[in-house]
Amino acid sequence: MIKIILLDVDNTLLDFNKCAEYAMRAACKKMGVEFFGGMTAVFHEINNRLWLGIEKGEITKAQLHRNRWRLIFERLGIDCDGVSFEKIFREYLAESAEPVEGAAELLKYLSGKYRVFTASNAFYNQQMSRLTRAGMLEYIEGMFISEKIGYEKPSKEFFDECFLRLGNPPKKEVIIIGDSLTADIGGGASYGIKTCWYNPDRKPKPEDYAIDYTVQRLCDIANFL
């Protein structure tokens, strides 16, 4: 029944946590800021909060870019220009391509049976660069990126545009795979397509989300697809 796969990128295909730490360390070195372990935890806390605001339509990506490192440096008591640091951080992030374990093998497997597309809220050039460096692009038929779509996951408009570009297939033929309960699972379930939650940290399954499949390892997806 399933014919089309929509795959999230960050922390599904590419390990965003490792990529972000690489970019963070490189940007700190270039900007003359001392990197220390606690910086990573504060980054993820603030970054996750800001991205949730984007998914809810409360802030824009431009606001995230203006404020992300300013907020992080304020929390850490570091005297550094957050806007300048943000620009350098994203430049290094675009060249980071650490794959999630099993991601390349999964893509090779899925592309032999289904039409495979990415569905991401990040920037097109950034994701294109990272997926190319990771050797994954050859298995992907197309990329649905919010920057090009004009809407963010999990909005109905994002999925409307994806389906329009796919030729409006029956919803029963499409599944979305991702790590985000809000953007991937919530968005996909609300739109009426199948969902697969990639949950490597074994977080408790929330009762208020319609999840068709849950996996802790990407290789387990081959058990039902």
Peptide bond into 169 cis (omega under 30): no
Please tell me the predicted confidence (pLDDT) of residue 37: 82
Query: Each residue of 33-67: pLDDT tens digit?
Result: 999 989 999 999 999 999 999 988 899 999 999 99
Q: Which residue in 114, 122, 58, 116 sits closest to 93, CA to CA?
A: 122
DSSP 184: I
- pLDDT tier at 153, thresholds 50, 70, 90: very high
- Reference 47, options 7, 79, 87, 86; nearest CA is 86
CATH number for 22: 1.10.150.240
**What CATH number is given to the structural domain containing 148?**
3.40.50.1000
Domain boundary among 93, 120, 148: 93
Q: Which of 61, 93, 125 is the last residue of a domain?
A: 93
Whether residues 74 and 117 fall in one domain: no
Q: What predicted TM-score, i.e. pTM, was given to this entire model?
A: 0.93
Q: Which of 50, 70, 93 is the last residue of a domain?
A: 93
Q: How many domains are contained in the chain?
A: 2
Q: Say whether both 191 and 216 belong to one domain.
A: yes
Identify the domain containing residue 56 by its residue range: 16-93
For the segment 125-136, what is each residue's pLDDT rounded down to a tens digit?
Answer: 999 999 999 999
Nearest of 72, 74, 75 to residue 27 by alpha carbon: 72
